[in-house]
Amino acid sequence: MNGKEEAKKRTQLLKRLREEHKDTVARTQALLKEQNAIRKQICQVMRDAPKTVPEVAEATGLPASQVLWHVTAMKKYNLVVETGMCGEYYLYRRVEETKI
């Protein structure tokens, strides 16, 4: 087979795979969109001052367990950092994006 035939087969295979998995892709895209919206809500709450997980949960109306999950993920990717304690809870603040 030459390069042109291989490219055509690869194109057909990718087209077939996209069709077979379109439902999974759609569900994944919807979940990602929802998670991004939640992350945006959390960041807005932390905009002015550091907050604890219960404070963010109260302000957003989300369960504290869900907020904790998102804050933990955001901390892992350096989107938020711990800035101290408030009672027995950690305070979290957004990491400001640096402009280059």
- How far is the C-alpha of 66 from the C-alpha of 79, rounded, in Å? 17
42 — phi, psi (to 5°)?
-60, -45
What average pLDDT does the chain have?
92
Pick the more confident residue, 54 or 100: 54
Is 3-94 assigned to CATH 1.10.1060.10?
A: no
- How far is the C-alpha of 67 from the C-alpha of 33, rounded, in Å? 16
Domain ranges of the chain: 3-94
Return the pLDDT at 26: 93
Percent of the chain with pLDDT over 90: 87
Are the C-beta atoms of residues 74 and 42 closer than 8 Å to each other? yes
Using the predicted structure, report yes or no on whether residue 99 has a pLDDT greater than 50. Answer: no
Calculate mean pLDDT across residues 8-13: 93
SS3 per residue for the chain: CCHHHHHHHHHHHHHHHHHHCHHHHHHHHHHHHHHHHHHHHHHHHCCCCCECHHHHHHHHCCCHHHHHHHHHHHHHCCCEEEEEEECCEEEEEECCCCCC
Calculate mean pLDDT across residues 19-44: 94
